[in-house]
Amino acid sequence: MIKLTRPDLSGQPMINPIDIAQTIIFLLNFRNNSVIDEIVIHREGKEPFLV
């Protein structure tokens, strides 16, 4: 069913939720005189989905 609704998804493993959680923790703990405007996370070997 997924192939019908999301043909762009291959059989490759998805992004590990722990990796996303660690990114969020980094953002919450980030203290510096700089600004993070954007973070792009995509699967290895896959082009990022840009809108």
The pLDDT value given to residue 24 = 94
**SS3 track for 8-48:** CCCCCCCCCHHHHHHHHHHHHHCCCCCCCCCCCCCCCCCCC
Per-block mean pLDDT, blocks of 10 residues, the chain (51 long)? 73 84 93 88 76 63
The pLDDT value given to residue 2 = 67
End-to-end CA distance of the chain: 25
Distance in angstroms (rounded) separating the CA atoms of residues 36 and 39: 8
Give me the amino acid identity at 24: I
